[in-house]
Amino acid sequence: MRFLSDRRLLLVSRLVLGIVFIYASYDKALNPLAFAQIIHNYRIMPPSLINISAIILPWIELLAGVLIIVGLRVRGANLILGGLLVFYIALLSVTAIRGININCGCFSTSASVRTNLVVDTIRDVVFLIFALHILLFYRPPKRSRAIG
Amino acid sequence: MIIPCRFRLTLSRLEFILSAMKSLRDAILILIVGALIGIAVNTVRNSTSAKGLAWDTPWPDNRQKRELELPPSYQPGDSLLSLEEAYGIYLRGNAIFIDSREPYEYEEDHIKGAINLPFEQWDTYWESVRPMLDPRKEIVAYCGGLDCELSLFLARELKQLGYEHSYIFFGGWQKWNDAGLPVEKSEGSHEISQ
């Protein structure tokens, strides 16, 4: 299992997670109204929190995605992205169980794009594996030793 | 320097706790900075163009609602039909009814004369359904109950493809069946060769 701590392998996980979240945040950040509509469609959020969530969530995803790629505060960014994935997995599962047919809004804010919530959930579980890899094996480089 | 074993254990545990706390602190920092960027961008957008989002829109509270009068993704421009309107079109006999549910649901029971175009399997079914459609005719898309929006998405897709008279009979199957209107079964009658 030593290979899991390999820095190149960890870099791959960071790149995958970062690119996925930057890509996911792009459309939502550009179209906050459409994203608010998607959140509303989940029928789970108090109305007063819908707009503020649509305004801030894409930027948190974008910031954490950029940080995890460039290697700044990687473990903190990974906590955010991993936490979001756990939240999305729970949300998508509950929505699928409730029998609500909607676009998940994961990568596109177009409500008429066809998505299958079960497939979306499984995809998020796969992304979560990358986050767990970083959580368990990433150690920040020790700068002081490198200088010494 | 030689550190006794049990102290080393305590030290590594301390190191772990410190590193976890640092990660948590960073995460909170990213949350706050991300939220502030979002708020700042939205403020700028609101003051310079109409691209921003109002801070508070009076969204209807739909958390407890199991049944909706309007589809959750309803947008102005979607042509909705009531049961009475759908039945009126049905009676004129010139319209095409499309069942957007899964084939096994369609086979079990569907509106009499309807054809099956499962929206979730559009790519598989579209080519075989297309010859049955006519852009000049009225098309009525329906789905299961009021929780199902496939008819909405199907009608929008058809409109985009040039079938301008596409309507959404939201909650169609449930309303139709409850009203005791004409239905029929079909067993394996709609197999698609891939």
The mean pLDDT of chain B is 84
Note whether B48 and B87 are same-domain residues. no
> In the structure encoding, which two tokens stand for residue B124, read together?
């598989």
Chain A contact for B147 (CB, 8 A cutoff): yes
What is the number of domains present in chain B?
2
- Residue numbers of chain A with a pLDDT score lower than 70: 99, 101, 110-115, 143-148
pTM tops 0.90, yes or no? no
Q: Residue B152 is part of a domain; what is its CATH number?
A: 3.40.250.10
Tens of pLDDT, residues B96-112: 999 999 999 899 999 99
CA distance B158 to B78: 12
Tens of pLDDT, residues B40-67: 999 999 888 767 888 887 776 777 755 4
List B residues 47-66 in contact with A (Cβ-Cβ < 8 A).
52-63, 65
Of A76 and B191, the one with more pLDDT: A76
What phi and psi values does residue B76 have, to the nearest 5 degrees? -55, 135
Work out the minimum CA distance from B79 to partner chain A, whole angstroms. 15
Give residue A103's pLDDT.
73
> In the structure encoding, which two tokens stand for residue B38, read together?
């979002």
- Contact by Cβ (8 Å): A107, A23: yes
* Ranges of H-type helices in chain B: 5-48, 83-92, 103-108, 122-129, 150-160, 172-178
Note whether B44 and B100 are same-domain residues. no
Mutate to test the interface with A, among B73, B156, B157 (most CBs of A within 10 A): B73
- Contact by Cβ (8 Å): B97, B165: no
- Residue B163, domain member (yes or no): yes
- Contact by Cβ (8 Å): B168, B143: no
Of B93 and B37, the one with more pLDDT: B37
Give residue B191's pLDDT.
41
Tens of pLDDT, residues B58-93: 776 777 755 446 777 777 678 888 777 788 788 777
Going by their DSSP bridges, the two strands B110-111 and B115-116 should be labelled as unpaired
- ipTM of the assembly? 0.91
- Contact by Cβ (8 Å): B138, B81: no
CA distance B62 to B68: 8
Which of B193, B181, B191 shows the shortest CA–CA distance to B106?
A: B191
A102 closest CB neighbour out of B25, B39, B72: B72
Note whether B109 and B169 are same-domain residues. yes
Domain of B10 in residue numbering reads as 1-54
Note whether B95 and B162 are same-domain residues. yes
Note whether B106 and B178 are same-domain residues. yes
> In the structure encoding, which two tokens stand for residue B62, read together?
């739909």
Note whether B107 and B50 are same-domain residues. no
Note whether B23 and B89 are same-domain residues. no
Secondary structure (DSSP) of B106-153: HHH-EETT-EE--GGGHHHHHHHHGGG--TTS-EEEE-SSTT--HHHH
Of A99 and B36, the one with more pLDDT: B36
Of B94 and A52, the one with more pLDDT: A52
Note whether B90 and B180 are same-domain residues. yes
Give residue B69's pLDDT.
62
